[in-house]
């Protein structure tokens, strides 16, 4: 929520536009910072009543638009406010921030998203089912592998039983006294 509602802003702007008071006098009368009043008046002059509304959603600016604004500022004698007016930006400090970032990091810095990264990873998107033919082929291949593994288990089980019986017979032979003599 905004600290000052639209009615107060309009009242301050109207008094200034009527020539009744200066920035300083309005600041003293309404107990509002002089810079706030100055910004309201400039926004009203540049964008009308829409310049006084509080934006409820963040606006996303493309890298191309940011570069165009920076280029216009650097190649002309326009102020940040005047460049912002041409691009429909009522916050001139955005352009100053873009310029600072551009000088420090280049074009890559302008494309970086702001804010903290999400704490949770993005969930995997649902992938549509493969066509039924490839699923059937995959299913048949898996069945074949299972049958081969079951046959191998059966073979190993038989070998294991044979070796156990062989060991038992050898131990039985060792225990019996020699009957051949």
Nearest to 44 by CA among 103, 85, 72, 2: 85
40 burial via Cβ count (<10 Å: 0-12, 13-18, 19+): buried
Residue 51 DSSP code = G
- The answer to whether 23 and 34 have CB atoms below 8 angstroms apart is yes
Domain assignment present for 39: yes
Structure tokens at 163: 């070796």
Query: Is there a single domain that holds both residue 70 and residue 104?
Result: yes
Range of the domain at 142: 133-175
Query: Is there a single domain that holds both residue 42 and residue 91?
Result: no
- The answer to whether 31 and 59 have CB atoms below 8 angstroms apart is no
Over residues 64-108, the pLDDT tens digits come to: 989 999 999 999 998 998 898 888 888 888 889 989 998 988 888
Domain assignment present for 119: no
Query: Is there a single domain that holds both residue 80 and residue 106?
Result: yes
Over residues 119-171, the pLDDT tens digits come to: 777 777 666 665 667 778 888 999 999 999 999 999 999 999 999 999 999 99
Residue 31 DSSP code = T
Query: Is there a single domain that holds both residue 109 and residue 139?
Result: no
Domain assignment present for 2: yes
Domain assignment present for 181: no
Query: Is 70 exceeded by the pLDDT of residue 4?
Result: yes
CA–CA gap between residue 97 and residue 112 (Å, rounded)? 13
Q: pTM of the predicted model, to two decimals?
A: 0.52
Domain assignment present for 128: no
Query: Is there a single domain that holds both residue 41 and residue 67?
Result: no
The angle that helices 80-87 and 92-105 make with each other, rounded to 10 degrees, is 100
Query: Is there a single domain that holds both residue 16 and residue 33?
Result: yes
Mean of the per-residue pLDDT values for the chain? 83
Angle at 83 between CA 20 and CA 104, to 5 degrees: 125
Query: Is there a single domain that holds both residue 40 and residue 1?
Result: yes
Count up the domains in the chain and report the number. 3
């Amino acid at each position: 929520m905004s600290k000052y509602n639209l009615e107060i802003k309009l009242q301050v702007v109207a008094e200034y536009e009527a020539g009744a008071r200066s920035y300083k006098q309005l600041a003293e009368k309404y107990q509002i910072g002089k810079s706030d009043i100055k910004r309201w008046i400039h926004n009203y002059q540049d964008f009308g009543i829409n310049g006084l509304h509080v934006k409820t959603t963040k606006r996303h600016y493309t890298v191309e638009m940011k570069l165009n604004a920076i280029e216009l500022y650097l190649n002309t004698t326009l102020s940040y406010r005047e460049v912002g007016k041409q691009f429909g930006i009522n916050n001139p400090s955005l352009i100053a921030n873009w310029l600072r970032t551009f000088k420090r990091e280049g074009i890559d810095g302008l494309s970086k998203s702001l804010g903290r990264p999400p704490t949770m990873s993005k969930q995997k998107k649902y992938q549509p089912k493969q066509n039924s033919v490839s699923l059937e082929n995959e299913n048949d291949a898996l069945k074949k592998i299972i049958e081969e593994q079951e046959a191998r288990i059966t073979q190993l089980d038989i070998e294991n039983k044979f070796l156990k019986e062989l060991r038992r017979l050898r131990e039985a032979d060792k225990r019996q006294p020699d009957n051949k003599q």
